[in-house]
Amino acid sequence: MTTPEPLAEVRDLHVRFVGRENTVHAVNGVSFTVNPGKVLCILGESGSGKSVTLRALMRLLPVQAKIEGTVRAAGRDVLALRGKALRDLRGGEVSMIFQEPMTALDPVYTIGQQIGETVRRHTGCDRAKAWARALELLELVRIPSAERRLDAYPHELSGGLRQRAMIAMALSCDPRLLLADEPTTALDATVQIQVLILLRKIQRELGMGMIFVTHDLGVAAEIADTVAVMYAGRIVESGPVGRILAAPLHPYTAGLLASTVHGQPRDRDIDAIPGSPPDMRRLPRGCAFAPRCSRRREGCLATVPPEHYPEPGRMAACIAIEKHAEDTLLVHG
Protein backbone atom coordinates (compact mmCIF):
# COMPACT_ATOMS: atom_id res chain seq x y z
CA MET A 1 0.00 0.00 0.00
CA THR A 2 1.22 3.47 -0.82
CA THR A 3 -0.52 5.29 2.02
CA PRO A 4 1.10 4.56 5.38
CA GLU A 5 -2.06 4.59 7.44
CA PRO A 6 -5.67 5.21 6.50
CA LEU A 7 -7.47 8.00 8.36
CA ALA A 8 -10.37 5.76 9.21
CA GLU A 9 -10.41 2.02 9.14
CA VAL A 10 -13.37 -0.15 9.98
CA ARG A 11 -13.01 -3.93 9.98
CA ASP A 12 -15.86 -6.36 10.36
CA LEU A 13 -18.02 -3.94 12.35
CA HIS A 14 -21.09 -5.39 14.01
CA VAL A 15 -23.60 -3.30 15.95
CA ARG A 16 -26.53 -4.86 17.73
CA PHE A 17 -29.16 -3.07 19.75
CA VAL A 18 -30.04 -5.47 22.49
CA GLY A 19 -33.54 -4.93 23.82
CA ARG A 20 -35.62 -6.83 26.32
CA GLU A 21 -37.78 -8.48 23.69
CA ASN A 22 -35.61 -8.58 20.62
CA THR A 23 -32.25 -7.67 19.21
CA VAL A 24 -31.87 -5.41 16.22
CA HIS A 25 -28.90 -6.30 14.04
CA ALA A 26 -28.21 -2.85 12.67
CA VAL A 27 -24.72 -3.40 11.26
CA ASN A 28 -23.51 -6.86 10.24
CA GLY A 29 -19.86 -6.97 9.26
CA VAL A 30 -18.98 -3.68 7.62
CA SER A 31 -15.44 -2.94 6.48
CA PHE A 32 -14.01 0.12 4.75
CA THR A 33 -11.11 2.52 4.84
CA VAL A 34 -10.87 6.24 4.21
CA ASN A 35 -7.58 7.86 3.27
CA PRO A 36 -6.63 11.43 4.21
CA GLY A 37 -8.17 14.00 1.89
CA LYS A 38 -10.68 11.52 0.45
CA VAL A 39 -14.45 11.40 0.64
CA LEU A 40 -16.30 8.16 1.18
CA CYS A 41 -20.03 8.22 0.61
CA ILE A 42 -22.13 5.64 2.38
CA LEU A 43 -25.29 5.20 0.37
CA GLY A 44 -28.40 3.43 1.50
CA GLU A 45 -32.03 3.78 2.39
CA SER A 46 -33.38 4.41 5.88
CA GLY A 47 -32.61 1.58 8.25
CA SER A 48 -29.70 0.24 6.22
CA GLY A 49 -27.32 0.92 9.11
CA LYS A 50 -25.44 3.80 7.51
CA SER A 51 -25.99 6.30 10.33
CA VAL A 52 -25.22 3.67 12.96
CA THR A 53 -21.94 2.88 11.19
CA LEU A 54 -21.08 6.57 11.18
CA ARG A 55 -21.87 6.98 14.86
CA ALA A 56 -19.77 3.92 15.71
CA LEU A 57 -16.74 5.85 14.46
CA MET A 58 -17.22 8.24 17.39
CA ARG A 59 -18.91 5.74 19.69
CA LEU A 60 -21.96 8.00 19.71
CA LEU A 61 -24.36 5.15 20.28
CA PRO A 62 -26.71 4.50 23.20
CA VAL A 63 -25.60 2.05 25.88
CA GLN A 64 -27.87 -0.71 24.56
CA ALA A 65 -25.71 -0.83 21.41
CA LYS A 66 -23.18 -3.66 21.40
CA ILE A 67 -20.29 -2.80 19.09
CA GLU A 68 -17.87 -5.46 17.83
CA GLY A 69 -15.05 -5.38 15.32
CA THR A 70 -12.23 -2.93 14.73
CA VAL A 71 -12.75 0.81 14.45
CA ARG A 72 -9.71 3.00 14.01
CA ALA A 73 -10.02 6.72 13.44
CA ALA A 74 -7.23 9.30 13.29
CA GLY A 75 -4.79 6.65 14.45
CA ARG A 76 -6.75 5.63 17.55
CA ASP A 77 -8.47 2.43 18.40
CA VAL A 78 -11.88 4.00 18.97
CA LEU A 79 -13.46 1.00 20.68
CA ALA A 80 -10.65 0.91 23.27
CA LEU A 81 -10.82 4.62 24.17
CA ARG A 82 -12.21 5.50 27.58
CA GLY A 83 -13.40 8.68 29.28
CA LYS A 84 -11.38 11.76 28.50
CA ALA A 85 -9.40 10.18 25.66
CA LEU A 86 -12.66 9.44 23.85
CA ARG A 87 -13.95 12.96 24.48
CA ASP A 88 -10.68 14.42 23.17
CA LEU A 89 -11.22 12.50 19.95
CA ARG A 90 -14.83 13.68 19.62
CA GLY A 91 -14.93 17.17 18.19
CA GLY A 92 -11.14 17.32 18.23
CA GLU A 93 -9.78 14.96 15.61
CA VAL A 94 -13.08 13.55 14.44
CA SER A 95 -16.21 15.65 14.31
CA MET A 96 -19.72 15.25 13.05
CA ILE A 97 -22.39 17.22 11.24
CA PHE A 98 -25.97 16.15 11.82
CA GLN A 99 -28.98 15.98 9.58
CA GLU A 100 -31.38 18.39 11.26
CA PRO A 101 -29.63 21.63 12.24
CA MET A 102 -32.72 22.96 14.03
CA THR A 103 -32.75 20.25 16.66
CA ALA A 104 -29.03 19.48 16.64
CA LEU A 105 -28.12 22.89 18.04
CA ASP A 106 -28.90 23.83 21.63
CA PRO A 107 -31.82 26.29 21.41
CA VAL A 108 -30.95 28.30 24.52
CA TYR A 109 -27.33 29.19 23.71
CA THR A 110 -26.17 31.55 20.96
CA ILE A 111 -24.22 30.29 17.96
CA GLY A 112 -21.12 32.06 19.27
CA GLN A 113 -21.45 30.44 22.69
CA GLN A 114 -21.85 26.98 21.18
CA ILE A 115 -18.88 27.28 18.83
CA GLY A 116 -16.77 28.99 21.50
CA GLU A 117 -17.55 26.19 23.94
CA THR A 118 -16.16 23.59 21.53
CA VAL A 119 -13.05 25.67 20.90
CA ARG A 120 -12.40 26.15 24.62
CA ARG A 121 -13.05 22.49 25.37
CA HIS A 122 -10.31 21.34 22.99
CA THR A 123 -7.78 24.16 23.03
CA GLY A 124 -8.24 25.45 26.58
CA CYS A 125 -8.01 29.04 25.36
CA ASP A 126 -9.83 31.97 26.98
CA ARG A 127 -13.25 33.34 26.04
CA ALA A 128 -11.95 36.19 23.90
CA LYS A 129 -9.77 33.88 21.80
CA ALA A 130 -12.61 31.37 21.42
CA TRP A 131 -14.92 34.18 20.31
CA ALA A 132 -12.41 35.37 17.72
CA ARG A 133 -12.04 31.80 16.47
CA ALA A 134 -15.83 31.42 16.25
CA LEU A 135 -16.02 34.57 14.13
CA GLU A 136 -13.25 33.25 11.88
CA LEU A 137 -15.18 29.98 11.47
CA LEU A 138 -18.45 31.69 10.57
CA GLU A 139 -16.56 33.62 7.92
CA LEU A 140 -15.00 30.38 6.68
CA VAL A 141 -18.44 28.88 6.10
CA ARG A 142 -19.55 32.13 4.41
CA ILE A 143 -22.20 33.27 6.83
CA PRO A 144 -23.07 36.87 5.93
CA SER A 145 -22.63 39.48 8.69
CA ALA A 146 -20.89 36.87 10.77
CA GLU A 147 -20.19 39.16 13.70
CA ARG A 148 -23.91 39.72 14.28
CA ARG A 149 -24.74 36.01 13.86
CA LEU A 150 -22.49 35.10 16.76
CA ASP A 151 -25.12 36.59 19.07
CA ALA A 152 -28.00 34.90 17.27
CA TYR A 153 -29.87 31.94 18.67
CA PRO A 154 -30.44 28.95 16.37
CA HIS A 155 -34.14 29.78 15.91
CA GLU A 156 -33.20 33.18 14.54
CA LEU A 157 -31.32 31.67 11.57
CA SER A 158 -32.62 30.09 8.38
CA GLY A 159 -32.12 26.36 7.79
CA GLY A 160 -29.16 26.92 5.47
CA LEU A 161 -27.43 29.30 7.88
CA ARG A 162 -28.03 26.93 10.78
CA GLN A 163 -26.40 24.10 8.87
CA ARG A 164 -23.48 26.38 8.03
CA ALA A 165 -23.15 27.22 11.73
CA MET A 166 -23.23 23.49 12.48
CA ILE A 167 -20.44 22.95 9.95
CA ALA A 168 -18.47 25.82 11.50
CA MET A 169 -18.81 24.17 14.89
CA ALA A 170 -17.65 20.83 13.52
CA LEU A 171 -14.61 22.50 11.96
CA SER A 172 -13.69 24.47 15.06
CA CYS A 173 -10.76 22.29 16.10
CA ASP A 174 -9.41 21.41 12.64
CA PRO A 175 -10.60 17.81 12.62
CA ARG A 176 -8.75 15.32 10.43
CA LEU A 177 -11.90 13.37 9.79
CA LEU A 178 -15.34 14.90 9.24
CA LEU A 179 -18.41 12.72 9.55
CA ALA A 180 -21.54 14.04 7.87
CA ASP A 181 -24.88 12.39 8.53
CA GLU A 182 -27.19 13.43 5.68
CA PRO A 183 -26.26 17.09 6.23
CA THR A 184 -28.28 18.32 3.27
CA THR A 185 -31.40 16.18 3.58
CA ALA A 186 -33.37 18.63 5.72
CA LEU A 187 -32.58 21.63 3.51
CA ASP A 188 -34.32 23.18 0.50
CA ALA A 189 -33.02 21.98 -2.85
CA THR A 190 -31.25 25.25 -3.70
CA VAL A 191 -29.67 25.46 -0.27
CA GLN A 192 -28.63 21.79 -0.50
CA ILE A 193 -26.38 22.49 -3.45
CA GLN A 194 -24.80 25.53 -1.75
CA VAL A 195 -24.04 23.59 1.41
CA LEU A 196 -22.73 20.64 -0.59
CA ILE A 197 -20.40 22.81 -2.66
CA LEU A 198 -19.22 24.57 0.51
CA LEU A 199 -18.51 21.27 2.23
CA ARG A 200 -16.52 19.90 -0.69
CA LYS A 201 -14.57 23.13 -1.02
CA ILE A 202 -13.68 23.23 2.67
CA GLN A 203 -12.85 19.54 2.70
CA ARG A 204 -10.36 20.05 -0.14
CA GLU A 205 -8.91 23.25 1.32
CA LEU A 206 -8.36 21.74 4.74
CA GLY A 207 -7.37 18.34 3.35
CA MET A 208 -9.77 16.51 5.64
CA GLY A 209 -11.01 13.00 5.14
CA MET A 210 -14.77 12.81 5.08
CA ILE A 211 -17.42 10.16 5.43
CA PHE A 212 -20.68 11.34 4.01
CA VAL A 213 -23.86 9.43 4.65
CA THR A 214 -26.74 9.96 2.26
CA HIS A 215 -29.59 8.26 0.50
CA ASP A 216 -29.33 10.65 -2.42
CA LEU A 217 -27.37 9.35 -5.41
CA GLY A 218 -27.06 12.84 -6.85
CA VAL A 219 -25.39 14.06 -3.68
CA ALA A 220 -23.04 11.08 -3.75
CA ALA A 221 -22.10 11.78 -7.35
CA GLU A 222 -21.38 15.39 -6.43
CA ILE A 223 -19.12 14.87 -3.46
CA ALA A 224 -17.71 11.33 -3.24
CA ASP A 225 -14.42 9.82 -4.27
CA THR A 226 -15.56 6.35 -3.36
CA VAL A 227 -19.01 4.98 -2.65
CA ALA A 228 -20.12 2.17 -0.37
CA VAL A 229 -23.69 1.00 -0.85
CA MET A 230 -25.27 -0.45 2.27
CA TYR A 231 -28.22 -2.76 2.51
CA ALA A 232 -29.51 -4.38 5.70
CA GLY A 233 -26.38 -3.57 7.66
CA ARG A 234 -23.88 -4.80 5.06
CA ILE A 235 -21.91 -3.13 2.33
CA VAL A 236 -23.18 -4.77 -0.84
CA GLU A 237 -21.04 -2.82 -3.27
CA SER A 238 -18.20 -0.36 -3.09
CA GLY A 239 -15.75 1.32 -5.41
CA PRO A 240 -14.86 4.60 -7.13
CA VAL A 241 -17.90 6.80 -7.58
CA GLY A 242 -17.63 7.14 -11.36
CA ARG A 243 -17.36 3.40 -11.94
CA ILE A 244 -20.25 2.55 -9.65
CA LEU A 245 -22.63 5.07 -11.15
CA ALA A 246 -21.64 4.09 -14.66
CA ALA A 247 -21.65 0.33 -14.21
CA PRO A 248 -23.34 -0.89 -11.04
CA LEU A 249 -22.64 -4.56 -10.36
CA HIS A 250 -24.92 -5.39 -7.46
CA PRO A 251 -28.60 -5.66 -8.36
CA TYR A 252 -29.49 -3.39 -5.43
CA THR A 253 -27.19 -0.60 -6.67
CA ALA A 254 -28.61 -1.05 -10.14
CA GLY A 255 -32.10 -0.81 -8.68
CA LEU A 256 -31.22 2.39 -6.79
CA LEU A 257 -29.85 3.95 -9.97
CA ALA A 258 -32.90 2.95 -11.95
CA SER A 259 -35.25 4.41 -9.38
CA THR A 260 -34.02 8.00 -9.66
CA VAL A 261 -35.69 10.62 -11.82
CA HIS A 262 -32.50 11.64 -13.57
CA GLY A 263 -32.01 10.44 -17.12
CA GLN A 264 -35.36 8.70 -17.39
CA PRO A 265 -37.57 9.23 -20.42
CA ARG A 266 -40.52 11.40 -19.46
CA ASP A 267 -43.21 8.96 -20.42
CA ARG A 268 -41.78 5.97 -18.56
CA ASP A 269 -42.56 5.09 -14.97
CA ILE A 270 -39.62 5.11 -12.59
CA ASP A 271 -38.47 1.59 -11.81
CA ALA A 272 -39.02 1.20 -8.11
CA ILE A 273 -37.42 -1.73 -6.30
CA PRO A 274 -40.29 -4.04 -5.40
CA GLY A 275 -40.91 -5.01 -1.78
CA SER A 276 -39.48 -3.35 1.31
CA PRO A 277 -36.26 -3.64 3.36
CA PRO A 278 -36.03 -6.66 5.67
CA ASP A 279 -36.90 -6.70 9.36
CA MET A 280 -33.60 -6.07 11.12
CA ARG A 281 -34.73 -8.18 14.07
CA ARG A 282 -35.05 -11.30 11.90
CA LEU A 283 -32.64 -11.14 9.01
CA PRO A 284 -32.81 -13.90 6.38
CA ARG A 285 -29.94 -16.38 6.46
CA GLY A 286 -28.54 -15.65 3.05
CA CYS A 287 -28.50 -12.47 0.98
CA ALA A 288 -30.81 -9.93 2.65
CA PHE A 289 -31.72 -8.45 -0.72
CA ALA A 290 -32.67 -11.78 -2.34
CA PRO A 291 -36.44 -11.50 -1.64
CA ARG A 292 -36.59 -8.29 -3.71
CA CYS A 293 -33.98 -9.23 -6.28
CA SER A 294 -34.74 -9.67 -9.97
CA ARG A 295 -31.62 -11.81 -10.48
CA ARG A 296 -32.35 -14.14 -7.60
CA ARG A 297 -31.21 -17.70 -8.13
CA GLU A 298 -31.06 -20.90 -6.15
CA GLY A 299 -28.08 -20.34 -3.84
CA CYS A 300 -29.01 -16.79 -2.81
CA LEU A 301 -30.74 -17.69 0.44
CA ALA A 302 -28.25 -20.39 1.46
CA THR A 303 -25.38 -18.25 2.74
CA VAL A 304 -24.37 -14.60 2.92
CA PRO A 305 -22.89 -13.93 -0.51
CA PRO A 306 -19.08 -13.68 -0.52
CA GLU A 307 -17.31 -10.54 -1.61
CA HIS A 308 -16.14 -10.44 -5.21
CA TYR A 309 -13.41 -8.12 -6.43
CA PRO A 310 -14.02 -7.92 -10.17
CA GLU A 311 -11.50 -5.10 -10.61
CA PRO A 312 -9.03 -3.26 -8.34
CA GLY A 313 -10.79 -1.13 -5.73
CA ARG A 314 -14.22 -2.53 -6.46
CA MET A 315 -16.23 -4.97 -4.42
CA ALA A 316 -19.65 -6.47 -4.85
CA ALA A 317 -21.29 -9.07 -2.65
CA CYS A 318 -23.56 -11.10 -4.90
CA ILE A 319 -23.31 -14.66 -6.11
CA ALA A 320 -24.77 -13.74 -9.47
CA ILE A 321 -21.93 -11.34 -9.93
CA GLU A 322 -19.26 -13.29 -11.77
CA LYS A 323 -21.21 -13.82 -14.91
CA HIS A 324 -22.86 -10.42 -14.76
CA ALA A 325 -19.64 -8.62 -13.90
CA GLU A 326 -17.90 -9.97 -16.95
CA ASP A 327 -20.69 -8.77 -19.21
CA THR A 328 -21.00 -5.34 -17.65
CA LEU A 329 -17.28 -4.71 -17.46
CA LEU A 330 -16.76 -5.87 -21.02
CA VAL A 331 -19.28 -3.37 -22.24
CA HIS A 332 -18.14 -0.42 -20.14
CA GLY A 333 -14.57 -1.35 -19.30
Residues forming contacts to another protein in the complex (CB under 8 A) are 58, 60, 84, 87-92, 95-96, 98, 100, 103-109, 117-118, 121-122, 153, 155-156, 166, 169
Long-range contact set of residues 64-68: C-beta below 8 Å, sequence gap at least 24: 64/17, 64/18, 64/19, 65/15, 65/16, 65/17, 65/18, 65/26, 66/14, 66/15, 66/16, 66/17, 66/18, 67/13, 67/14, 67/15, 68/12, 68/13, 68/14, 68/15
Residue 8 Cβ vs another protein, minimum distance, rounded to whole Å: 15
- Nearest distance, CB of residue 138 and another protein, angstroms: 16
Which residue number, 108 or 261, has a Cβ lying nearer to another protein? 108
Smallest distance from the beta carbon of 95 to another protein, in angstroms? 7
Nearer to another protein (CB atom), residue 140 or residue 325: 140
CB of 137 to another protein, least distance (A): 13
Using the minimum distance from each CB to another protein, give the nearer residue, 33 or 51.
Answer: 51
Nearest CA to 118 out of 138, 141, 134, 97 is that of: 134
Minimum Å distance from CB 58 to another protein? Answer: 6
Query: Which of 3, 103 has the CB closer to another protein?
Result: 103
Closer to another protein at the Cβ: 152 or 258? 152
- CA dihedral sign of residues 252, 240, 205, 33: positive
With beta carbons less than 8 A apart as the criterion, state whether 323 and 316 touch.
no
